[in-house]
Amino acid sequence: MTVEDRKYLWNTYNRLMIAIKERDGFHCRWCFSQKGLQMHHKIPKRFGGDGDPSNLITLCNKCHKKAERRFWRMFGVMPSRIRFRFKIFKFRQSFAREFNLTKVLWL
């Protein structure tokens, strides 16, 4: 990918971001905050969502985190770092059971 291609993609993304924020009135669609605005995919890319404006919504930082957590709870999807910590915890539990340890090492 050339530098010109990267610039074109970046400018296209910025124009899309501004258009979505303008459509939503430059405020969070959930709490109406005007600080820390981000674009949120209603259907994440990893589940077939795309960059179409109908799939995008403007949310503030806090509401974006809430939306992601809600999606994880609804569909049983965890981000990779949480999944990794959970695997470590499960390994520690099985290790403790195997050697009859009374305490399980927590993260």
pLDDT tens per residue across span 12-55: 888 999 999 999 999 999 999 999 999 998 888 877 788 889 88
8 Å CB contact between 69 and 60: no
Three-state secondary structure call for residue 56:
strand
Interstrand relation of 56-60 and 37-41 (parallel, antiparallel or unpaired): antiparallel
Report how many helices (DSSP H) and strands (DSSP E) the chain contains, helices first: 3, 2
Contact 29, 58 (CB under 8 A): yes
pLDDT at 88: 58
pTM more than 0.85: no
Amino acid (1-letter code) at residue 49: G
Q: Which residues pair with 37 in a beta bridge?
A: 60
pLDDT at position 50 is 84
